[in-house]
Amino acid sequence: MNVKLINSYLDSFFNPSSVAVIGASNAPFNLGATICKCLNDYIQYPHPVYAVNRKGEAVHGCPGYTSVLDIPGSVDLAVIITPAAVVPHFVKECGEKGIKSIVIESAGFSEQGEEGGKLQAEINDAVKKHGIRIMGPNCLGVMDIYARFCCFYGAYQEIVDVFNKAGGISYIIQSGGVGVVVLESIMDDIVGLNKMVSIGNKSDVDEADLIEYFSHDNTTVIALYLENVRDGVKMMEAARKTLKPVLVFKSGRTEEGTAAALSHTAGMANNDAVFEAACRQAGIIRLKHISELHSMPKMLTEMPLMAGNRVAVFTNSGAFGSITADLLVPAGLAIPRLNDGTRERLARIGGVFNINNPVDIGPAPPQTYLEIFKVLLEADEVDGLLLASSIWRDFIIDVMKELVKMCKQYNKPAAIYTPNSVTRILAARRQHGLPLFESPEEAVRALAVSYEQFRFRRKKEELYGTDH
């Protein structure tokens, strides 16, 4: 892949040639130790990892030093997880060592009032003096699946599952807590993670820097959780320039939410109406529910974009066909009348109860499903398909897998909904990567997001060309 070097200084945050974990020790419940264990034991990071603590002791096989200044050779990235009061001291030592990138995971800075603000200002002065770039403070860390790097504190052994199934979705998360929730969702339901960054107070590196960076790496979908926007013009310009989908869930829609954001990550949540309008202009998809941070990106990685708003509904339950149809129009989608040729082809397939849209069948073998998929995907009046299957048999998984293949062949998406147990749905998604949704509302929303991204991408291509 020919990657344009944009914000290349960020490379050391994701794939550092060496890492110093400042504050890692063998004390009980030490958070820095969990980072060392994750890197050295769980994911076996292929570059040197050092532990810095008062005793200079090794931690989970990582050599120990009392100061970064004692580490032989250069250090590419420092991760600081110590009490806030001593962070400025360690930042200064990093500067003296020549370390140019630091992740500060410690909390207790501008999000906690005047005294914390003074500490953050002290850090800012140090980084300016030494030319250091900062992720954080008050953040969870950084993760890169392809580089097999993770400095998320508290990571446990099951994180290996995430690293064994890399994908194209990169997350920018302002809240560490939300980052944990998203990561847990990914661990339960593998969606193909690329990178995840927790930006916290974003005293330096912010969402705009990362959108720009992800626009030029191997990311295919950029998803964000934000509580505030530090530089709206900068962020919107970064989003406007990329053809990759940019999805954002932002809190602070209400006065109460704004107040909560202020106390959490030390930023004003900004005017929501202004933010909404800016997203439209920049081609950013605004997510409606926090669960969509997990469900919507995989629709955009696993399925083609929907080039129009016309949806054919295919179901083995007339009730679910009706339920789904009720949701489509309010979502900005249409239920087209199938033309005569399409209906004639459906009529020749045995077991079809209703050849109109929604198409309804009774008990039928797998081949019948595939024949109907083919007819609907080949129909000029259909831009996408919604499969609402109320049955769960062994063969239905194979049917869904074939549908995914056919969608790629015909360059039309499908969203699949089945009113079954969450356990079954999670198992199917985990094993087969199916775009399988837990509610008809979620499935309809996935198609609406696909169409929205298609329109945004087309507009950007018309305005700026395909190479930007």
Cα distance between residue 148 and residue 91, in whole Å: 25
Question: In this structure, how many other beta carbons lie within 10 angstroms of the beta carbon of residue 382?
Answer: 21
Cα distance between residue 180 and residue 193, in whole Å: 14
Q: What is the mean pLDDT of residues 76-88?
A: 97
SS3 label, residue 270: coil
> pLDDT tens across 107-130, in order?
999 888 888 889 999 999 999 999
Cα distance between residue 468 and residue 457, in whole Å: 11
Cα distance between residue 291 and residue 437, in whole Å: 12
Position 243, amino acid: L
SS3 label, residue 345: helix
Residue 254 binned pLDDT confidence (cut-offs 50, 70, 90): low
Give the pLDDT of residue 2: 39
pLDDT at 12 over 90: yes
> pLDDT tens across 388-399, in order?
887 767 788 889
Residue with the bigger pLDDT between 405 and 165: it is 405
Per-chain mean pLDDT for the chain: 90
Residue with the bigger pLDDT between 298 and 467: it is 298
CB of 325 within 8 A of CB of 335?
yes
Residue 424 binned pLDDT confidence (cut-offs 50, 70, 90): confident
SS3 label, residue 455: helix
Q: Which two tokens stand for residue 448?
A: 């609406």
Cα distance between residue 345 and residue 371, in whole Å: 9
SS3 label, residue 27: coil
**Angle subtended at Cα 145 by Cα 140 and Cα 147, rounded to the nearest 5 degrees:** 105
Cα distance between residue 425 and residue 417, in whole Å: 9
pLDDT at 260 over 70: no
pLDDT at 317 over 90: no
Of 112-121, 346-355, 374-383, 428-437, highest mean pLDDT: 374-383
Q: Which fold has domain 8-298?
A: Rossmann fold (3.40.50)
CB of 304 within 8 A of CB of 279?
no
Give the pLDDT of residue 430: 77
Q: What is the mean pLDDT of residues 456-462?
A: 93
According to DSSP, the β-strands at 384-388 and 166-173 are unpaired
Q: Which two tokens stand for residue 401?
A: 């897998």
pLDDT at 262 over 70: no
Is the domain 303-457 a CATH 3.40.50.261 member?
yes
CB of 32 within 8 A of CB of 44?
no
All CATH 3.40.50.261 domain ranges in the chain, comma separated? 8-298, 303-457
> pLDDT tens across 302-314, in order?
899 999 999 999 9
Give the pLDDT of residue 279: 95
pLDDT at 1 over 60: no
> pLDDT tens across 26-57, in order?
999 999 999 999 999 999 999 999 999 999 99
SS3 label, residue 94: helix
| H-only helix segments in 386-436 | 394-410, 422-432
Of 170, 452, 124, nearest in space to 297 by CA: 170
> pLDDT tens across 168-189, in order?
999 999 988 898 888 888 877 7
312-332 residues labelled b (16+ CB within 10 A) or e (exposed): bbbbbbeebbebbbebbeebe
Give the pLDDT of residue 257: 46
DSSP string spanning 174-211? S-HHHHHHHHHHHHHS---EEEEEE-TT-SSS-HHHHH
Give the pLDDT of residue 253: 60
Cα distance between residue 121 and residue 116, in whole Å: 9
CB of 426 within 8 A of CB of 185?
no
Dihedral angle sign, alpha carbons of residues 88, 90, 92, 94: negative
